[in-house]
């Protein structure tokens, strides 16, 4: 059964669309900058994990198989503050060796395990066919009609588990915060894979047969795995670390371009190249990759 926040109801799931979910995280950024260096006092920072922001900024890495999730979390760790990284490492299992990326695919690995079968619907959310909008109360349920069983519901649920643990250390609410962290970092990636947020009728692209470089497969598998596999082989010598480094370079370029557009919109006069560079570094450091979402 999905570990739910006590008293959870539709009113506690205020998302009428993914844009509101993004705003929820982005607004929280300003509330986490002054936390002290303790695990409980930095848990709110964990709930703002950069995978959410990173996946918004990387349109060329929308396929989230094992390599995709690994890349998201590996890059994200570079953007966590010192306090947030400390808290993340405290929650990670020993097997992770302080590396969040190594466990970002854990929810995929256990979803068919008997004890975790309840988690399978949490990886996606589907809308009725040709309904090109998203309504939480209408769409967030599993195949049996159980409410809040979808990826946006899961993101909210595990965010609240971490936030409540931070807000009240004496609370009787007991959650597995290690699992909450691993689920959250994974689902934030899943929600940005287009075929995890598609129409019900085609099963997220699983029922659409396609050929990828002469290989017969389904559309969902192409997005989840084969795009990255092909890119790794063709452009990066099958070396995931080389691909990650290239993405990191692209992040800086993309963020700078959005920042430049922001400056132009704000009408800041007389800004020279050096000042622009320094301002870019300052703002990107503060907002991570969330900057372009706010424009």
The yes-or-no answer on residue 123 being catalytic is yes
Catalytic residue among 141, 149, 192, 196: 196
88 to each of 10, 24, 154, 182, 185, how far by Cα in Å? Answer: 29, 21, 19, 10, 11
What dihedral angle (degrees, nearest 10) is formed by the CA atoms of 3, 196, 178, 6? -20
The yes-or-no answer on residue 141 being catalytic is no
The yes-or-no answer on residue 67 being catalytic is no
Catalytic residue among 139, 190, 192, 223: 190
The yes-or-no answer on residue 148 being catalytic is no
Tell me how far apart the alpha carbons of residues 141 and 159 are, in angstroms, rounded to a whole number: 18
Catalytic residue among 186, 192, 221, 223: 186
The yes-or-no answer on residue 108 being catalytic is yes
Of 132, 125, 121, whose CA–CA distance to 196 is shortest? 125
The yes-or-no answer on residue 139 being catalytic is no
Catalytic residue among 141, 148, 192, 220: 220
Catalytic residue among 40, 111, 146, 292: 111
3-state secondary structure of 90: helix
The yes-or-no answer on residue 69 being catalytic is yes
Catalytic residue among 83, 106, 123, 192: 123
Place of tokens 């990173």: 54
Catalytic residue among 67, 83, 126, 224: 224
SS3 content of the chain, % helix, strand, coil (to 5): 60, 5, 35
Q: 193 — phi, psi (to 5°)? A: -90, 115
Catalytic residue among 99, 108, 142, 202: 108
Catalytic residue among 69, 148, 149, 221: 69
The string of DSSP letters for 111-158 reads TTSGGGGGGGGGG---B-TT--S--HHHH-B-TT--BT-SHHHHHHHH
Of 100, 188, 195, whose CA–CA distance to 151 is shortest? 188
Burial of 29 (0-12, 13-18, 19+ CB in 10 A): middle
The yes-or-no answer on residue 64 being catalytic is yes
Name the CA radius of gyration of the chain, rounded.
19
Catalytic residues: 64, 69, 108, 111, 123, 186, 190, 196, 220, 224
């Amino acid at each position: 059964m999905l570990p739910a926040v006590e008293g959870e109801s539709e009113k506690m799931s205020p998302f009428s669309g993914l844009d509101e979910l993004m705003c929820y995280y982005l607004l929280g950024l300003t509330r986490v900058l002054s936390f002290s260096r303790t695990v409980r006092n930095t848990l709110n920072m964990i709930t703002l994990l950069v995978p959410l922001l990173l996946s918004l900024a990387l349109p060329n890495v929308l396929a989230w198989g094992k390599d995709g999730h690994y890349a998201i979390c590996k890059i994200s760790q570079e953007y966590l503050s010192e306090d947030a990284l400390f808290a993340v490492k405290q929650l990670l299992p020993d097997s992770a060796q302080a590396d969040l990326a190594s466990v970002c695919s854990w929810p995929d690995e256990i979803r068919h395990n008997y004890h975790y079968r309840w988690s399978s619907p949490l990886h996606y959310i589907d809308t009725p066919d040709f309904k090109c909008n998203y309504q939480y109360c209408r769409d967030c349920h599993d195949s049996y009609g159980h409410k809040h069983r979808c990826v946006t519901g899961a993101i909210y649920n595990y965010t609240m588990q971490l936030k409540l643990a931070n807000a009240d250390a004496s609370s009787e609410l007991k959650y597995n915060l290690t699992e909450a962290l691993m689920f959250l970092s994974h689902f934030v990636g899943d929600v940005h894979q287009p075929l995890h947020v598609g129409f019900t009728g085609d099963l997220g692209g699983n029922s659409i047969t396609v050929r990828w470089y002469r290989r017969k497969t389904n559309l969902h598998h192409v997005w989840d795995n084969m795009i990255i596999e092909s890119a790794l082989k063709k452009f990066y010598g099958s070396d995931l670390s080389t691909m990650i480094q290239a993405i990191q370079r692209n992040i800086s370029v993309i963020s700078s371009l959005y920042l430049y557009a922001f400056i132009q919109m704000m009408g800041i006069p007389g800004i020279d190249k050096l000042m622009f560079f320094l301002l870019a570094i300052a703002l990107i450091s503060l907002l991570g990759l969330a900057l372009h979402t706010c424009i």
